[in-house]
Structure 1
Amino acid sequence: MSQKFFRIYSSSAGSGKTYTLTREYLQLVMRDPHQFRHILAVTFTNKATEEMKSRIIQTLRGLAQGQSSPLATELQEFTGLSAAGLRERANEVLSLILHNYSQFAISTIDSFFQKILRAFARETDLSTNFRLDLDTQSAINEAIKLLLEDAGKNEMLTLWLTQFAETRIEEGQTWDIQKDILQLANEIFNENFSRFEAALRPHLDDKNFLVKYREQIAKMRRDLETKMRELGQKGVALMQSHGLDVADFAFGKSGVANYFYKIQKPDNYDFGTRVQTIVETPEDLSKWYSKTSKQQESIENVVAGGLLQLLLEATDLYQTQGLSYKTAKEVLRYFYTLGLLANIAVKLQQYRDENDVFLMADVPRFLNGIIAGSDAPYLYEKVGNTYRHFLIDEFQDTSNMQWENFKPLVENSLAEGNLNLIVGDVKQSIYRWRGGDWKLLLEKVEKQIGSYQTERRYLNNNWRSKQNVIAFNNSFFVASANLLAEKLEAEPHLSPDILAEVQKIPTAYADVYQIFPETKRQQSDKGLVRVEFIDKEQDSEQETDDEADNETTTSRVTGWKQIAQKRLVKIAEQLQERGLAASDIAFLVRNSLDGILVAQALLDYKNSAEAQPQRYVYEAVSADSLLLESASSVRLLVSLLAYLHNTANRIASAHVLYEYCSYIKPSLYKTPVPTPEELNELFGGVTYRSAQHSLELFQRFLPAAFIEKRPSFNKMAIYELTEQLIAIFELNKIEAERAYLQGFLDAILEYNRTGNGDMSSFGEWWEKKRQKLSVRLPEGQNAMQIITVHSSKGLEYPAVIIPFCDWDLDHNVKHHNILWASTDTEPFGQLPISPIRYGKELGQTVYAKDYYSEKIQAYLDNLNLLYVAFTRPENTLICLCPKPKGIGKNNEVKVNRVSALLYEAIRTTNIQPTAEKPDYLPLAHYFDEEANVFEVGQWPTQTAHESNNNAFVMQHFRAETWRNRLNLLTQSRGFFEQDESKKLRYQKVSFGLMLHDIMASIRTAKDLKTALAKPYFEGQASEAEVRELRDRVRQALANPQMAAWFSDEWSIYNESDIILPNGKIRRPDRVLIKDQNAVVIDFKTGQSHPKHTEQVQEYMGYLQEMNYKTEGYLVYLPATAQGQELKIQPVLSL
């Protein structure tokens, strides 16, 4: 059997994908060390690129050092090398890569495409100085500005805009269409539009064609509406002429007679079974009246006298022309969208040309035209390298155009007998909105490459999760995929093509079964899965995604989400009580607004009387909480800059007062936060009164220095001005704001680099950037994480809580989802593609296949989101969701949301484990239907551990201008000192202080590495001094008594404040608490002094007043690297 050189790895979550890619890469280079120059490994993010590079380098280093591992054994078997030979080969490969690092080709797909683009700049008439712009949104904004400038000048454009606005108003939307146009403009980068744009252009530029085409479509709709209205009017007139009313006929308003009233209004032509029955049996006049009717004779006369004929004409007309009518209606709904997009595309090109910019979003399409007409050798020559092997990761997120750009290269490589592989998982395809096409991985690529040279391999072991989590997911997703397929198959009038598409959902999940590794089966802790269905009757129908999205504060949340908010806090407490650190817990949410609900619930509870902050951590970080604009200090600074740019801007002045009095002042001076009523009383009407009134309020509430120095602000550059404002408002004193202040100053520098330095355009720049600028928190922070499911992909957490596990399976009808559809049916086929609004109405148009195909993909998208969420936990998975409403008489559930899918799958699935597949779970067995809770496994129990909260963070933020900071440093640890004795004294003092700071900051020996980083990175200690400090600390901790004090058996308080009744503060270096025993430790350098003893005795006295049995010790540390030995001196209490 011939070898197959194209491998497709199906890698389910936690199955060791990175290990597999590393192994495949090393197998290639271990046979031929120089081969690394000819391997291109492609990932989709910079982070993944760095991780893969690091993994390969670290693995090679381990192999070169002779470290044994399963991978080393595999490589020996693969290459036939001995252990010594493998070490030598690994060392050779490592040396080659490090000395030729630029040829170590592991990059993002965008980076590789950029390389090709620049190589073809001359051939494609691109300027050699073109700038590649990643910020597509800014380009779109500029293009729309150019577009709107032409409104009123360009007749067709004005028509498009007018009709677009009218359509929005008809749909109940605002007439201000600029936001809608911004959203619409992103469709330009949709691959379907891109493919047909060139073919559309002649039609869109032909005004006569557009007018004629639209009129033709509109006439189809108008003609049917006119005929149906006339038939309805005739029917009603005929009944009335016989003295009959709707109530005289069978079933009244729900019967056949009312159909004549219905069809007098547009788009009201569908008829039910009662009308259908009469149409099928026209001779049976008894269907028109009830058995007790007193008008039977009159009804028979009117039916025979023409009413039946009118009904047959109406139903026949609708049955023959209804499809075209409904299609025409849908085409006309978004017809003007097409013209707008074409005009935006023109303006976007104008922007590119005028600014010498090439958008990153354009690259795949642009390259598609280049690569399609070039052979692989020519491409390699232009790029400057010959790649023989292609390794593509995360292939489920690859778009069709990206694959088409890679395919010629891969096919050429395969023709030369070289190995190529792609790795991905259809079940984790959650980026289709970015262009990803999971069908490529599922079937298309294998068909295109050919099954004769394709080998599929499945990574089935799950190395991440505990057994119960794996078994739950195995059973749940097998059942869910089948449930969704059954639901879709029940849709009426599905063609065989659509039914075949439906089966792709179970096919996509055919490999969902994962194996819990045999090496772990003896573990007693099998993990926990708990799903709580909240049974809460609400006043209104179950909220939609839009309604849920609008809930941004706890005060506005009602129903089951309000209960979920309370539960999520208690669950977090319970997990921490059982030994998990806060940083082990992640809340996964569908969108950022749900994340705000989680953060708000934690914050509200933390500030309540029930909270136990000394026992539990309630802090949580999220992407939104890290945005610069989320900090009150930054919002104040932005408002101040806007006010100073234009002091007549009373909205800005109101924002200044609000931010300062509501957030900054209470934080600085511990004053109560004013209530909305108090704020209204203080500032009510600020935006409507005079600028003088604003100034009076400023003088009353803001720092006096701001008013005094305001005239000088106009002379300052924006960066210096911002520093001045930080100092005047004392923002640097608010510890929680320091990182955001530094981030904002960095943003000001970035703004300056754009070529601007004034306040006039800063506001506009900030509006464009504010939702992207964020701070990075240090690693090791002990806080829970709030993260969207999309952002969590590729990550893992010991415990995952999904507090609002409820979203639509289909697209939300309130969102304007555009479907790009095509047909050969005339007259609609005159355009190669049309933008159609996605909705169930499309199921009865010529675009039905496109509609159902999109619906199937939407269902799979949302099932995949659930899969990604459920496969993040290592140990614990907890979900909160509403119990489905409207369970029918046959105990059936309407499966239209993931909560309903979860409920139905759990209560009906009873897959039993077998000897061949032991990792299944009979879900129904673990479901308490009365309590509405599914639970399998035990809550985690592990020894509570001190989280490393000793990360290097900003302790001080100096708020002063460069004028005050620019000084000649004449003394720095004796740097300029010539006298050796004095220089030694400086060194002695410095070393002792550094050693003191390190001992007073670490909690346990595990924290030493982080603590040593601080003096090194601050430039206080050289590498040699850091090593000496490390040795001295280790020597100190080797002392048995010190080792006991630095163990985790104590509750440790380093440099914690003791607040005295008079308001003064005392801060001992280290206090240890266990039960009612306390130990006070103070670190000293140099010679002992009676004051040292008195100081510790004072600390001991305060703790004794707190009813602690207290011991005290002075620990004398060596003052220099060559100083005295450690000395521990007990201190007696007074």
Structure 2
Amino acid sequence: MSQLKKEIADIQNDTGQIHISEFNRKIFEIVMTEPIPFVYERLGEKFNHILIDEFQDTSTLQWHNFLPLVENSLANGHFNLAVGDAKQSIYRFRGGEMELIVHLHKENLKALVVGHEKNDFLLERYASIRPYLKPENLTINYRSAKEIIKFNNNLFQFIKESDNNEAIAPILPKVYDEFFAQQIPENSKSGGHVEIDFLTGEGEDELMLNRTLEIIEESLSAGYSYKDIAVLCRKNQHARIIANSLKDANIQVISSDSLNLNFSEAVNLTMALMKVIQNPENILSKYEAIYLFYRVVLQRIPDTNDNQIIKQSIENKDVNQFYQLIEKQGYYLHSFRLQQMALYEVAEKIINTFHLFEHYKDLDFLFRFLDVVLEFQTKKSTHLTDFLQFWEYKKNVLSISTPDGQNAVTVTSIHKAKGLEYPVVIIPYCHWSMDTSLYSEIWAELPSEVELEANLTASLKTTPLRITNKLAETLIAPQYHAEKEKTFLESLNMLYVALTRPTDRLYLIVKKDVFRFDKTVGYQLYQYAECPEIEKGDKFIKIVSQGENKKIKFEVEKDLQVIEIQAIESSEKSNTIKLRQSAERLFDLETFEKSRDYGNKIHNTFAKIKTIYDVDFALEESVREGLIMESELEDLRANIIKIINLERIKPLFSVHQDFVKNEREILMPTGNPLRPDRVVRLKDRIVILDYKTGSKSDSHKIQVRQYMNIYRAMGHQNVEGILLYLEGEEVVEVR
């Protein structure tokens, strides 16, 4: 670990970078050693009020970093607010500590300084904020029908009072305290439905999916639309299974984390062929491409004879054998021509050759994939190799998106659903473990010396340890029990978040035969529902509250009219003629003067430059666009660098790119937008720079003054204007 730490430190020193996770720790080191940390001297004067939302997902380190700001604000008589719910703490993997809000709410400040009892600065800060602490409970639930509220109150009261549960998680009564029960508001809606389905049988995924489809059909019959229904899953892999299965059943789905581009076989076929084009000797990519070709295009699995032919063709070093194998099925791709095409053209050619747009379920994926390819080609690189590297890095996070107003079922994780609401909520796989898994590890703090075999000892501060029951009999037993408690509570909180999402109907789907004592959510539900069930074959349905057989509240809704594009028509780019629409950027159309032509080229290149480091990229981009010739590169570069280094101009190209706006349009009341060439936001002023070619004119100054007046009208007091004549490298201040 020390060697790894050294390697990371060397990389940071070489690149001048620091990992973002280091900032909190470094600030913490300063905060804990100074009475008034210098890093907050300016912030403390700038912000009067501080609001911390989702406080239950805040770490102690983050809170202690905020504490000086909160203390300063309170000392100046300002109001501060921390909002959170310990029962919704489900981000422990990101450092969230639910104990923080529990102890602060109970005004148990001693528990917040454990490990820092001798730090006078921290003790003083807590002492100064204590008089201002005012815990308040927001207990009224305005979201759900009264039957759902009652069910949640009763269920979690039952779980809280279980002796076994309190033995596992002693902090449970503090999290689900006397204030946890949600109050039912006056005139609340009634008719809510709560149902727990305990299923038995083989095939967990099939059981969950079939019952989910049944519930969706029941909800539609009761007057709900697809867009009223949400399926929430504990694990992303379960969400993917449900989402893909619903798509196969021709049910529209909205999902941000279940429909990655990488899960489309049509997209994977396109990518595999791109890999072959980039490296014809890549045997693995050839096999992947051919077998996907059979599955997606030919819609069959290769037989024994096919496999023999495939093997001979792919392992032949002549890549033409690979393409001939495809040609025998009536599809024609030419290796040489593909290698000459631009990135987007390659993707488009593959999709059109194999008629992939005819695969209805892959349409969304293919359109999104083409968008990704086009964006990469436009903004980053036209090289296939670069795109393949980008794809390997991003393929698991790129997904299709669907309009929010579309009539589609939402399928997402419980984490993503936090803070949202849906009329109908279905929770399949509602039997997740509440215990640490067999593969879980903890970073254990060890005693100063650890006994080894043969009476040897070793010093080690921390080490990762596999969690097993044997740890309960060691010196780190307290850490072991603490980890078990946190895991139990987080799993319980996950259930709480899921059960508080619905407004009208709640369905829990549990596989009955996965219970293992009190270690699963399913077991907790089964214990609570310990009364006669309605047996329906292999289903045991516990209807906690029978809702109305229709939608609780009908509203006049207007569905968006969704027009689905079935394909993209395109032609061979080599057979088309391109017309340059911006000829004036290449040469002066009026006079054909060489000097103005040269100035126009510099002007166009400057539009692509935000800082001096962008010069080479801007010139290369201009060459690719055909605006300048390669033979002009060195001369243009020298002149551009010379202009940028002018005394008045250089500071305007030495700022961060985020403070520069090139050719950003300003919409005017007349409808005709204005577009200054360059606007730079400095520390104390705005500077507007306009490039000009040709001879001077009073109209140039009038134009810049107009820009300056507009920015003053926006609230910027100190605005400067500059005219830069490119051919003569002359700077003119505009007053």
Same fold per superposition (TM over 0.5): yes
Match of 2:182 among 499, 514, 525: 514
Q: How far apart are 1:736 and its partner, in Å?
A: 5.3
The answer for the alignment partner of 1:563 in structure 2 is: 207
CA contact (8 A) 1:645 1:759 kept: yes
| Whole-angstrom CA distance in 2 between matches of 1:650 and 1:686 | 11
What's the secondary structure of 1:932's corresponding residue? Answer: strand
What's the secondary structure of 1:457's corresponding residue? Answer: coil
Q: How far apart are 1:962 and its partner, in Å?
A: 6.6
Distance of aligned partners of 1:872 and 1:719 in 2 relative to their CA distance in 1, 3 Å threshold: same
Distance of aligned partners of 1:940 and 1:411 in 2 relative to their CA distance in 1, 3 Å threshold: farther
| Whole-angstrom CA distance in 2 between matches of 1:702 and 1:711 | 19
| Whole-angstrom CA distance in 2 between matches of 1:766 and 1:885 | 38
Distance of aligned partners of 1:423 and 1:952 in 2 relative to their CA distance in 1, 3 Å threshold: farther
In structure 2, what residue type is equivalent to 1:950?
Answer: Q
Q: How far apart are 1:769 and its partner, in Å?
A: 1.1
CA contact (8 A) 1:654 1:686 kept: no
Alignment of 1:988-1007 (within 5 A): none
| Whole-angstrom CA distance in 2 between matches of 1:819 and 1:402 | 20
| Whole-angstrom CA distance in 2 between matches of 1:681 and 1:834 | 50
Match of 2:547 among 938, 942, 948: 938
| Whole-angstrom CA distance in 1 between matches of 2:313 and 2:86 | 54
| Whole-angstrom CA distance in 1 between matches of 2:173 and 2:488 | 12
Q: How far apart are 1:464 and its partner, in Å?
A: 0.8
Q: Percent identity?
A: 28
The answer for the alignment partner of 2:198 in structure 1 is: 533
The reply to whether residue 900 of structure 1 matches residue 579 of structure 2 is: no
CA contact (8 A) 2:44 2:72 kept: no
The answer for the alignment partner of 1:661 in structure 2 is: 294
What's the secondary structure of 1:388's corresponding residue? Answer: coil
The answer for the alignment partner of 1:685 in structure 2 is: 311
The answer for the alignment partner of 1:1049 in structure 2 is: none
Bigger-Rg structure (1/2): 1
| Whole-angstrom CA distance in 1 between matches of 2:138 and 2:43 | 34
In structure 1, what residue type is equivalent to 2:547?
Answer: Q
The answer for the alignment partner of 1:623 in structure 2 is: 256
In structure 2, what residue type is equivalent to 1:512?
Answer: F
Structure 1 runs not aligned, ≥5 long: 1-340, 492-501, 537-557, 607-616, 667-672, 887-892, 908-923, 971-1022, 1026-1134
Distance of aligned partners of 1:944 and 1:535 in 2 relative to their CA distance in 1, 3 Å threshold: farther
| Whole-angstrom CA distance in 1 between matches of 2:379 and 2:236 | 30
CA contact (8 A) 1:476 1:906 kept: no
What's the secondary structure of 1:785's corresponding residue? Answer: strand
The answer for the alignment partner of 1:297 in structure 2 is: none
The answer for the alignment partner of 1:344 in structure 2 is: 4
The reply to whether residue 725 of structure 1 matches residue 350 of structure 2 is: yes
| Whole-angstrom CA distance in 1 between matches of 2:29 and 2:447 | 25
Structure 2 runs not aligned, ≥5 long: 113-125, 452-456, 583-668, 672-735
Match of 2:390 among 757, 760, 765: 765
Distance of aligned partners of 1:816 and 1:560 in 2 relative to their CA distance in 1, 3 Å threshold: closer
Distance of aligned partners of 1:695 and 1:729 in 2 relative to their CA distance in 1, 3 Å threshold: closer
The reply to whether residue 455 of structure 1 matches residue 123 of structure 2 is: no
The answer for the alignment partner of 1:413 in structure 2 is: 73
The reply to whether residue 792 of structure 1 matches residue 417 of structure 2 is: yes
Q: How far apart are 1:507 and its partner, in Å?
A: 1.3
| Whole-angstrom CA distance in 1 between matches of 2:75 and 2:427 | 48
Distance of aligned partners of 1:842 and 1:473 in 2 relative to their CA distance in 1, 3 Å threshold: same
| Whole-angstrom CA distance in 2 between matches of 1:362 and 1:579 | 52
The answer for the alignment partner of 1:40 in structure 2 is: none
| Whole-angstrom CA distance in 1 between matches of 2:558 and 2:218 | 17
The answer for the alignment partner of 1:807 in structure 2 is: 432
In structure 2, what residue type is equivalent to 1:937?
Answer: Q
CA contact (8 A) 1:624 1:630 kept: no
State the number of aligned residues.
Answer: 552
The reply to whether residue 695 of structure 1 matches residue 314 of structure 2 is: no
| Whole-angstrom CA distance in 2 between matches of 1:695 and 1:848 | 63
Alignment of 1:423-572 (within 5 A): 423-444=83-104, 446=107, 447=109, 449=126, 451-483=130-162, 486-487=164-165, 489=167, 502-510=169-177, 511-520=179-188, 523=189, 525-536=190-201, 558-572=202-216
Q: How far apart are 1:739 and its partner, in Å?
A: 4.4
CA contact (8 A) 2:197 2:542 kept: yes
CA RMSD for the aligned pairs? 3.4
Distance of aligned partners of 1:795 and 1:965 in 2 relative to their CA distance in 1, 3 Å threshold: farther
Q: How far apart are 1:774 and its partner, in Å?
A: 1.9
| Whole-angstrom CA distance in 1 between matches of 2:208 and 2:356 | 36
Distance of aligned partners of 1:582 and 1:422 in 2 relative to their CA distance in 1, 3 Å threshold: same
Match of 2:443 among 819, 824, 828: 819
Q: How far apart are 1:865 and its partner, in Å?
A: 0.6
| Whole-angstrom CA distance in 1 between matches of 2:25 and 2:14 | 21
The reply to whether residue 844 of structure 1 matches residue 504 of structure 2 is: no
The reply to whether residue 573 of structure 1 matches residue 240 of structure 2 is: no
Q: How far apart are 1:702 and its partner, in Å?
A: 5.7
Distance of aligned partners of 1:375 and 1:714 in 2 relative to their CA distance in 1, 3 Å threshold: farther
CA contact (8 A) 2:425 2:507 kept: yes
Cα distance per residue 1:113-148 (max 9 Å; x no partner) = xxxxxxxxxxxxxxxxxxxxxxxxxxxxxxxxxxxx
What's the secondary structure of 2:444's corresponding residue? Answer: strand
| Whole-angstrom CA distance in 2 between matches of 1:762 and 1:863 | 43
CA contact (8 A) 2:166 2:172 kept: no
Distance of aligned partners of 1:658 and 1:621 in 2 relative to their CA distance in 1, 3 Å threshold: farther
The answer for the alignment partner of 1:948 in structure 2 is: 559
CA contact (8 A) 2:445 2:462 kept: yes
In structure 2, what residue type is equivalent to 1:685?
Answer: K
Q: How far apart are 1:435 and its partner, in Å?
A: 0.6
CA contact (8 A) 1:723 1:961 kept: no
Cα distance per residue 1:926-972 (max 9 Å; x no partner) = 855897322112254036987614147656634457774844799xx
| Whole-angstrom CA distance in 1 between matches of 2:182 and 2:577 | 61
The answer for the alignment partner of 1:1016 in structure 2 is: none
CA contact (8 A) 1:654 1:687 kept: no
Q: How far apart are 1:377 and its partner, in Å?
A: 7.5
| Whole-angstrom CA distance in 1 between matches of 2:302 and 2:407 | 33
In structure 1, what residue type is equivalent to 2:251?
Answer: Y
Q: How far apart are 1:900 and its partner, in Å?
A: 0.5
CA contact (8 A) 1:478 1:506 kept: no
| Whole-angstrom CA distance in 1 between matches of 2:565 and 2:45 | 46
Cα distance per residue 1:82-133 (max 9 Å; x no partner) = xxxxxxxxxxxxxxxxxxxxxxxxxxxxxxxxxxxxxxxxxxxxxxxxxxxx
| Whole-angstrom CA distance in 2 between matches of 1:596 and 1:590 | 11
Alignment of 1:705-744 (within 5 A): 706-707=333-334, 710-731=335-356, 737-744=362-369
Q: How far apart are 1:401 and its partner, in Å?
A: 1.6
Alignment of 1:316-395 (within 5 A): 341-374=1-34, 376=36, 378-383=38-43, 386-395=46-55
What is the TM-score with the length of structure 2 in the denominator? 0.68
The reply to whether residue 882 of structure 1 matches residue 520 of structure 2 is: no
Distance of aligned partners of 1:487 and 1:868 in 2 relative to their CA distance in 1, 3 Å threshold: closer
CA contact (8 A) 2:198 2:540 kept: yes
Cα distance per residue 1:237-283 (max 9 Å; x no partner) = xxxxxxxxxxxxxxxxxxxxxxxxxxxxxxxxxxxxxxxxxxxxxxx
Distance of aligned partners of 1:352 and 1:378 in 2 relative to their CA distance in 1, 3 Å threshold: closer
Cα distance per residue 1:199-236 (max 9 Å; x no partner) = xxxxxxxxxxxxxxxxxxxxxxxxxxxxxxxxxxxxxx
Q: How far apart are 1:380 and its partner, in Å?
A: 4.3
| Whole-angstrom CA distance in 2 between matches of 1:904 and 1:699 | 63
In structure 2, what residue type is equivalent to 1:818?
Answer: I
Q: How far apart are 1:874 and its partner, in Å?
A: 0.9
The answer for the alignment partner of 2:116 in structure 1 is: none
| Whole-angstrom CA distance in 1 between matches of 2:18 and 2:514 | 51
The answer for the alignment partner of 2:234 in structure 1 is: 590
Q: How far apart are 1:531 and its partner, in Å?
A: 0.2
What is the TM-score with the length of structure 1 in the denominator? 0.45
| Whole-angstrom CA distance in 1 between matches of 2:305 and 2:79 | 69
CA contact (8 A) 1:592 1:624 kept: yes
